[in-house]
A = this chain, B = another copy of it.
Amino acid sequence: MTQLQEARKGIITPEMVQAAELEGITGEELRQKIAIGEAVLPCNINHQGLRPMAVGKGLSTKVNANIGTSDAYPELAPELSKLEIAVAAGVHSIMDLSTGGDIDEIRRRIIQDSPVMVGTVPLYQVMVDTHKAGRGLVEMTDDEIFAGIEKHCRDGADFITVHCGVTLEVIQELREQGRVMDIVSRGGSFITAWMLHHQRQNPLFEQYDRLLNIALHYDVTLSLGDGLRPGCLADATDGPQIKELITLGSLVKRAQEAGVQVMVEGPGHVPLHQIETNMQLAKTLCHNAPFYVLGPLVTDVAPGYDHITSAIGGAIAASSGADFLCYVTPAEHLGLPTEEDVKEGVIAARIAAHAADLVKGIKGAWEWDLEMAKARKALDWPKQIQLSIDPEKAGRMRKAKNEDSQERCTMCGKFCAYQLISDYMGTPFKGC
């Protein structure tokens, strides 16, 4: 049985207990959220050693890091290293998007090594395999697509991105409306090319029940991909995007009815003032299923800094209801991320998630900031470093800028505001 089916029967599974503990809520509270589809607990029956975490309404905002090889960088070792770095930086989920090297081996090793949930996009591998076999991508058959999906599920992927909402009707909408960047989702663009070539409906939509059966068997959470994700601000919140979202809403319902856990993916590039609207639409159109966003990036013009453009968008998105943030690294739009990029991306997304958790009133969020404020007031440097979201970096920067013995920092030096005012307000101060 899937976690959803168990939850509906009133059963609190060991995975629910573990995940609830991390949130500071009871297993029963989490069970209820899962039962009504407002939360998912991605944990493939074949993923050994997973620390299960739940994603959804009323839970802390989760962060995913994408890693994986490409044909230019096919080695396993750097990706395992990125996994380790991301987990150490506090990530809650990893997606393996490998398209180079021994993809099966890479995925299996990542799942084996990862203590956090692992997601994949099975279609990518099917594309690579077809290409390697010397065939045109559009020659891929339905059976090959579903076999690829089943392989990833059997290997223990906790969730998979499936672009089921890219229908002929949505593509027609796109053709009529036009866009600056058309389709920027890799999976979405391939499915579209396939459909246009064969003049056939999307097999992931047409044979959705086949997909549900596979997901049901391994308790894989479906992450309904947004193939029509806007690739630039000018394309945001347009007809094709929202039409696909409506379709995803109906697929959410069918998955839940079948007992399959499901969440929905969202944009993308979105102007700041359209983000809240996007989140509300996602929740109303998709029956409050957990919403997983890539960014959103609030401007197109900052390659090299898209961890920042997406931290801005992600914080607003999560404050307005998004449950799960996919990190964006400084390398976005330029190439694959280095290990350093991975860490920067995870921390930036965690900052966005935490800023939103403060708004959501998530347990422990406010207390964390309060503890830091008290440590600052007391000029308690070891405590400040320890409470930092990245103690390693904060400690390193503090050390580089100040002699160890100084209690005040070089910013104010002798004219420390805390010291000045504490003397006169009679508030406690561990003086210099």
Contact = CB atoms under 8 A, between A and B. Distances in A.
A384 B303 CA distance: 9
Interface string A270-282: 0111000000000
Interface in A263-322: 271-273, 298-305, 307-309, 311-312, 315-316, 319
A422 B425 CA distance: 67
Contacts of A398: 303, 334-335
Contacts of A401: 331, 334-336
Given A312-B355, A358-B271, A397-B330, A376 B300 contact: yes
A420 B354 CA distance: 37
Given A196-B424, A370-B234, A273 B377 contact: no
Given A308-B348, A355-B309, A398-B335, A413 B99 contact: yes
A409 B127 CA distance: 18
Nearest to A384: B303
A417 B414 CA distance: 57
27 contacts: A71-B413, A72-B402, A100-B413, A124-B415, A182-B421, A182-B427, A183-B421, A184-B417, A185-B417, A192-B424, A232-B373, A233-B366, A271-B355, A298-B355, A299-B351, A300-B373, A301-B372, A301-B387, A301-B388, A302-B390, A303-B398, A312-B312, A312-B351, A331-B397, A334-B402, A335-B402, A336-B410
Interface of A: 70-73, 99-100, 124, 127-128, 131, 137, 174-175, 180-186, 188-190, 192-193, 196-197, 231-235, 271-273, 298-305, 307-309, 311-312, 315-316, 319, 330-336, 347-348, 351-352, 354-356, 358-359, 366, 368-370, 372-374, 376-377, 384-385, 387-390, 393-394, 397-398, 400-402, 409-415, 417-418, 420-425, 427
